[in-house]
Amino acid sequence: MQNIAPVQLRQVRDFGQIVNDTFRFLRQNGRTLFGAIAATCIPLALLAGFLVGKTVGDFQQMLVRSRFDGLGDLSGLGLALLGYLGILLVYVQLLAMVNEYIRAYHLGEHHGMRTGDLWRRGASQWPTYFGIAFLTGVITVVGALLCVLPGIWAAIALSLVYVCHAIERTGASDSLTRSYKLIQDRWWETFGLLIVVGLIQAVITMALMLPLTVVSFIVGFNTTFTGFENGDMDGGVGWLSTYTAISTMAQTALNMLTYPIIMVAMALKYFTLVEEKEGAGLRQRLEGFEQA
């Protein structure tokens, strides 16, 4: 079988090339990258997803049974909040690990990298990535509260903040400025790229979730029909909590494994914009020729 050439990050790519090279990069580096994600992110994602799903499922059961009596029935809310906090933390760790791997790849330091190495690289930059996520979230939410469109505009304009810090070590606040300047006159094409890769990620996640969805539908339908037929309301809806917990666990874990599609695509967009506007890669190659 013919060997596939490694992806060169510093080059200008059009829309289609970015999408194609995203999957080529993930195929070439998936063993290290996804292995580290599975070992360090998935366990916490499963636990957090279970806490959120179980609480939501219990709430759904209360609504169906018409036994919602006020705040006393929301005793599990604390577990849901703990679950959402866990999901936030694991997403920040995912962002740190993937972008730090891209940095290592860019510097040629990824060869022989193991899960522990990538974990330590991500952990060393975790506070900065958390700060970036916090600032980006605040700006996007404020924009959405003022009007939906400013929130969308801000989310796209700041979509390169993580890779900016990973490659240039610009820090939290400067990464926001750097991302804005790079996307300043490329907003619509960046928006289109995010829509496409986001849809691809969503379709892959739904396809992987399909077997669980089908089985759960069959089991849930049979359980509900049998319970109601026998006049057993509890038996008719008792599956809701279990199903929601399991499906939320699976959804959260699968999102961990498919979200790198978006991150790698945005990293390639970053290198494309840097090359178009600054020609950094070309300048480096010319300097190499002069030294030779």
* Residue 39: pLDDT band with limits 50, 70, 90: very high
Q: Taking the chain, what is the end-to-end CA distance rounded to the nearest angstrom?
A: 34
* Exposure b/e, 64-102, CB count within 10 A at least 16 = b: eeeeeeeeeeeebeeebeebeebbebbbbbbbbbbbbbb
Q: Which residues contact 94 (CB under 8 A, 6 or more apart)?
A: 37, 41, 256, 259, 260
Q: Give dist(CA 285, CA 60) in Å, integer.
A: 60
- Yes or no: say if 224 and 237 are a contact pair by the CB < 8 Å rule: yes
- Per the structure block, which two tokens stand in for 236? 């008719």
In this prediction, residue 290 carries a pLDDT of 46
Of 19-33, 136-150, 181-195, where does mean pLDDT reach its minimum? 136-150
Q: CB–CB of 162/175 below 8 Å?
A: yes
- The pLDDT value recorded for residue 30 is 92
Residue 77 pLDDT grade (very low, low, confident, very high; cuts 50, 70, 90): confident
Residue 96 DSSP label: H
Tokens 């399991």 found at: 246
Residue range 88-138, pLDDT digits in tens: 999 999 999 999 999 999 999 999 899 999 999 999 999 999 999 999 999
How confident is residue 56, by pLDDT bands cut at 50, 70 and 90? confident
Q: Is 82 left (phi over 0), alpha (psi -120 to 50) or beta?
A: alpha
Q: What's residue 62's pLDDT?
A: 67
Residue 70 confidence (pLDDT) above 70 = no
> Global pTM?
0.85
In single-letter form, the type of residue at position 208 comes to L
- The reported pLDDT for the residue numbered 247 is 85
Mean pLDDT in the chain?
A: 84
**Ranges 22-36, 76-90, 177-191: which has the least confidence:** 76-90
- 138, with CB counted inside 10 A (0-12, 13-18, 19+), is exposed
* Tokens coding 2: 């013919």
Provide the pLDDT for residue 234: 53
Asked whether the CA dihedral 166, 169, 175, 178 is positive or negative, the reply is: negative
DSSP 231: T
For residue 126, give the amino acid letter. W
